[in-house]
Amino acid sequence: MAIIQFTVNNVHVQVDITPDIMLSEVLRDILHLTGVKVGCGVGECGACTVLLNGKPVASCITPAMKVDGASIVTIEGVSPEPAELDVIQKAFLVSGAVQCGFCTPGMVLAAKALLDKSPDPDAGTIRKEFAGHLCRCTGYDMIIKAVQTAGDAIRNNKDIQLPEVDHQNSIGQSVIRRDGIQKVKGSFLYGADFYPEDALFAV
């Protein structure tokens, strides 16, 4: 066992781990930051992306020992306040870039990393940067639109307004997904995100 220390979303943490454990396991299974999704577990789909010292990495293939002393940002740390949304999260919602939402945390973090270094990316640049991110639902065009919409808002220092929706009377209205806000925040729970008390986990 070894003790490592790092910051996650600006909070200092210390965990006791075995040397073979991956960062995604620390974040999900020890710290219960279940916005970190694990799809493939072998570095191919991008769902588990987090920012490591500002750069996107696949946490499922990043040995936890490597993050000793580092700064990690997960989807739970993207918005300035827990009750608020970052402009990138809003752009994903208004662009229709969120469907099942499993890829969304990784996509939002990849968008943040890209826009931090290049706030006006063209579609080709976005496709190249997102080559390691798979989405089985949206067809990617809406994700490109979301990244460009967020970039426009950031460059012009403006907010993105979410449409006010009357869900009882929504025919003809432009709507966002009912569960979309949870999905862009990483708080939507899928089957693997539950940790029942006294459950036995086996491999």
Task: Using CB atoms within 10 Å of the CB of residue 7, give its burial: 0 to 12 exposed, 13 to 18 middle, 19+ buried.
Answer: middle
What separation in angstroms does the CA of 162 have from each of 84, 102, 107, 178?
12, 21, 19, 12
77 versus 96: smaller Cβ distance to ligand FES? 96
20 versus 166: smaller Cβ distance to ligand FES? 20
Q: Does 182 bind ligand FES (CB under 6 A)?
A: no
Task: Using CB atoms within 10 Å of the CB of residue 26, give its burial: 0 to 12 exposed, 13 to 18 middle, 19+ buried.
Answer: buried
- Closest separation in Å from C-beta 126 to ligand FES: 15
Q: Does 44 bind ligand FES (CB under 6 A)?
A: yes
Pairwise CA distance, residues 27 & 8, whole Å = 9
Interface positions, 64-123, toward ligand FES (CB under 6 A): 98-104
Residue span binding ligand FES (CB under 6 A) among the ranges 9-17, 36-44, 69-77, 122-130? 36-44
Pairwise CA distance, residues 74 & 78, whole Å = 7
Q: Residues binding ligand FES: what is the number (CB under 6 A)? A: 23
Q: Does 187 bind ligand FES (CB under 6 A)?
A: no
Residues that bind ligand FES (CB under 6 A): 38-41, 43-48, 58, 60, 98-104, 135-138
